[in-house]
Chain A
């Protein structure tokens, strides 16, 4: 029998363990661990959930329960190399946020939450990004794109950028 391929690397487990002294129990490592895996894999597949649970001494269902609550982590397949959150909350909406989202999805041939066929870009609606002074705005990985128009946004999202962390 071939041993099943592990999804979590030694480095990921080491990163999780490095955070352990911060908390009085291991369950509190759930969200940090999910983030560590997601930062590498751009999604958190079910196998990873089971492995995180094993590392933390939890039931896989406990980890999965927490993970799914946030609706933030992709599970089926990785999100794009650039994950663009387009704000749709009130201050951005007043300055064209909804139209921005629609335009960007249309231009890239995807639905909201979808990823382009080349795996480069995922576009997701977001609630207030806490940058209403720059409405409408987009968070693309770690970059805040300020005062966007459909044209400037389409161009800005084509630029290469650091991976989401």
Chain B
């Protein structure tokens, strides 16, 4: 592996690294000053577009391209919603960026607001991040005092306010239109698209939703340049016109059964095995991995033999996973029951489904009830086919739901049943020796709460 010096994480471990003085001493806010002094919003859009930056929140959509979907010459207001809901199980890089280097995030937000002509930016922060809340607010206060926020910043004619808005522990508030509804004071029910937020978003105005890490990348591109960013990662596949490449550094969150869990910065395209061995100190207790989540629980599972998959935007899809997602890598060792894993996954999604779409509400709830039945020693082999059917029919991909939560619920089910079917069958046969082949309907177990 090539040595790689962290950039996004450069403040980690630096005493008072979260302060304005520290950030400026590392070169921060100089790009903003230069931008405001001599560049146009369109220049910044062009810079981000040509850097190849793809959103870090999960979907991997080109950031610069998304900004160009805003209507031209709109009288305003235009809003920027910064997505700090970070609730995908396994993911914690936004937390570290906000706690350890909030000014990097804020400079990215100011540059992005300038580019998109937004005059208000809301940071939608999950409730469970009190330290990030305090650090961000302190950094915003410092930025106002230093004249980087407020009216007519640096005499450029550009004005911006940044406000923190706190969530209340619901995963669905991370979905961009769920976030918008929640910010508007309503239940966080995702909207049917189109219209996309760029046309009609927050308070029915044109809106951009971007992730915290995406904002940090914008700040670094402005500081270090497009060529620097493009020199890192995996170039576009010339044989595939639909692959825009995976450029730049990425924050990988490593957790579960590794010796050294943590957030590690590496070029996009590092393999799961390199990440686990090089940064994570290997699978814990000298064991082997049974399965690895490539990018948050919604992305499904890779087997041990798939660990040499590069974790770029295209890699996990090649081994049947949903995608790179949040690049949160969770290692599951060979002593762990995959039945327990799937039960945990189904419990999460049944709890977090917002309940709007029947396939998602019923599918997540029934898959949990079936996993509880299996764990209670009452599983039947037929349940595996039913689970696979639920997995294949709920989601935006089969076209049965409004948002991607249902796809995220489906992928762990599909991957687990397909890649570990033998283990499920053994479990069911051994825990339910008299009933595993029964096919009669069975009564339901208890109802689960849902958002």
Contact = CB atoms under 8 A, between A and B. Distances in A.
Interface of A: 22, 24-25, 27-32, 34-35, 62, 65-66, 69-73, 85, 88-91, 93-95, 126-135, 139, 141-142, 144, 165
A32 B166 contact: yes
B85 to A, nearest CB: 10
A85 B451 CA distance: 17
B125 to A, nearest CB: 11
Given A31-B185, A126-B169, 13 more contacts: A24-B203, A65-B186, A69-B188, A71-B451, A73-B168, A94-B256, A130-B92, A132-B91, A132-B328, A133-B253, A133-B254, A133-B261, A134-B261
B449 A71 contact: yes
B330 interface: yes
Contact of A70 (B92, B163, B451): B451
A72 B169 contact: yes
B255 interface: yes
A128 to B, nearest CB: 4
B336 A127 contact: no
B131 A29 contact: no
Interface in B121-178: 126-131, 161, 163, 165-171
Given A66-B186, A132-B92, A133-B92, A90 B256 contact: yes
A135 B261 contact: yes
Contacts of B255: 91, 132-133, 135
Contacts of A126: 128, 169
Given A89-B344, A94-B332, A130 B95 contact: yes
A90 B451 contact: no
A81 B253 CA distance: 33
A127 B352 contact: yes
Given A70-B169, A91-B89, A85 B256 contact: no
A62 B169 CA distance: 19
B297 interface: yes
Nearest to A28: B185
Interface residues of B, number: 59
A32 B185 CA distance: 9
Nearest to B333: A94
Nearest to A58: B185
B183 interface: yes
A130 B97 CA distance: 12
Listed from nearest, the 5 A-B pairs whose CB atoms lie closest are: A30-B185, A69-B187, A132-B255, A70-B168, A128-B89
A130 B87 contact: yes
Query: How would you classify the secondary structure of chain B's contact residues: helix, strand, loop or mixed?
Result: mixed
Contacts of B253: 132-133
A142 B130 contact: yes
Interface of B: 77, 86-92, 94-95, 126-131, 161, 163, 165-171, 182-188, 203, 253-257, 261-263, 293, 297, 328, 330, 332-333, 336, 340-341, 344-345, 347-348, 351-352, 354, 449, 451
Given A25-B203, A31-B168, A65 B130 contact: no
Contacts, number: 139
Nearest to A131: B92
B417 to A, nearest CB: 17
Contacts of B129: 130
A156 B185 CA distance: 36
Contacts of A31: 165-168, 182, 185
Nearest to B133: A165
B317 to A, nearest CB: 21
B451 A127 contact: no
A144 B186 CA distance: 29
Contact of A90 (B90, B170, B186, B333): B90
A25 B127 CA distance: 22
B95 A131 contact: yes
A127 B348 contact: yes
Nearest to B352: A127
A133 B262 contact: yes
Nearest to A98: B344
B95 A35 contact: no
16 contacts: A27-B186, A30-B185, A34-B168, A69-B170, A70-B168, A72-B168, A72-B169, A90-B89, A90-B90, A91-B261, A91-B330, A127-B89, A128-B87, A128-B88, A130-B91, A141-B130
A47 to B, nearest CB: 20
Contact of B297 (A34, A70, A90): A90
A159 B330 CA distance: 32
A100 B253 CA distance: 23
A78 to B, nearest CB: 17
Contacts of A71: 169-170, 449, 451
Given A66-B187, A71-B449, A132-B330, A91 B168 contact: no
Which of B171, B256, B340 has the most chain A CB atoms closer than 10 A to its own CB? B256
Nearest to A69: B187
Contacts of B165: 31-32
B264 to A, nearest CB: 10
Contacts of A134: 261
A130 B86 contact: yes
A90 B254 CA distance: 12
